[in-house]
Structure 1
């Protein structure tokens, strides 16, 4: 991680990209491979499209006065002429023939067609591009033009590049090009912030990443990003997202292969062992007697959550029982007194009496496990959002878990 560049998280990066667009100042986003640089650029561009009341597009053919575009230019695949264009002779006079994509985002096109162009050009892998390509990009970024072709004022350049730790055979940017950009470095995302609803876990839940993955990583947070030198593939946030897509509909016995392909065999083997633990879980016993959950070691606790919520994906009728189980974990009440707690909670909901609130706090047991209650809810949501929300709204146990809703909705 660099000491001379501002380190930001994903939310901060989104704000920085928006600032870059609004100010017209080019931004360079540094960061490790597979942690979400390109994804955040795209998400921010989508948000900017909504802000300017435009449709979002990544299509060159749809760059017009109605769309806000994100144009991905992978500079490692480009030649200098792909940026600058080529010279041709017209009646003995040399003239520039500009690339089509450059004309599409030009001020001259705006004037000719009477439109206002808005969007972001993402110069991906800029520091992987050979020096000649970087030099071609220099004029484009520095002067917002190439020769006589000016770039529209509503177009901003955001570059992205890997850091030296990725061993990606990067080229040093020339100082004049460096100083044309403002710079930030995207930090490797935390899996789950201890006190805020921040981290990859919540993003993954929102995007429907397989609950088996989020539960495994809740147990092994170190595996979210685990760089292995000389490995051809290693765990990254992008890799886990790919694994989730690959294992969709796959049984627990073979789901590990998706992880091995997307995150490497070491991660695949760790995931396989974890899934073996889930197959040993007696789901019915734990749901009927939640106190037995306390007797499990940490690995088996996470495996039990994975097994129960995976069963919910096949048998949605388990939703009420899982909510009751989560209520036990959240309150630390593992016997019939949970009913008394519910009655008292109903009273507090209608009266907001401080003495009732104090009585509720005093009823909560010492062996509370709210973090596992959150995991139950978020995994249920990942498996079936609609059914989970319906169960939470209709169940009496939904009231018990109201304090967890900011982490769940």
Structure 2
């Protein structure tokens, strides 16, 4: 369900990030809001609190590093870490938000202590409950009077969002009040099922843009690309997909939210070509291809699209291992492989074929009950493995 649009700039992206299952399992991708003083960053976050959602605000500059790492205490000849009271405030099964306000006023020693809290979600040896999200807020670098720049390791643990209140929204709020915002519901199973397809699309882009895996922290004052933030990007894209915000949509709101989230993870210089790549991907639904509901002309696809297509087909084919369409899907898949080999582009799909074989595809085909279909499939596979170049590829990997 689409989120309300009468929210501050950055709010929709924030709510999606907080509702997203993180790559490590708990709820929420950590978010850092950048905005001028007085634009409602703190009041919006604290306004999300309900009887079911606790919000605990900590102002970083007035806390000691031990408030985030735990206070070492000698007990029985061993050192243990006393857990700060704020940790105990979150129940084990309770929804919550840990809000680290004025983060740019935190001295380097406090920032170092926060590294483990933000990414590993640990205070001393105590884990934060799974449903506690982490949000921070800071003033932009040009307004950071008397503060400290955030270290690249700490910056890389957040999705960075610019926060602002458009004039029209503020004027309307004077008579109509503010929309408090509400976290969307993202079904974990739906998110888990959609995530592999987005990882494949990211892999296709990184094959095409070999230098995009990393970007320079010095050239990106907020988010910058790294394997960690590409993981964030995949999880956020899956959430946007669940909620109906998809690349290529003509919905301006969807495009804005996607740009905010991707730039917040990767930096704008990486996010823009990545979204352009997603917008022009010409890949039909793999299930429609395998079920013959939709055809595809492989001549029309460039190498990155062909790579994405076959990895997407792999995911659907593996998911069908124990379903009746498995043999029919495999025959369609093999016909596509044969076409790729005819086109002389076999090297683009070698890794996909290897991964499918390692998943047990060939042995499952050999065990199917349909004698005619099994025979046809095994004949195609025998032809595939008779290809000299493919055999050399397999030998190198063996």
Same fold, TM-score > 0.5, yes or no: no
TM-score bracket, shorter-length normalisation: 0.3 to 0.5
TM-score normalized with structure 2 length:
0.40
TM-score normalized with structure 1 length:
0.39
Higher relative contact order (CA 8 A, sep 6+): 2
> Which structure would you say has the larger Rg?
1
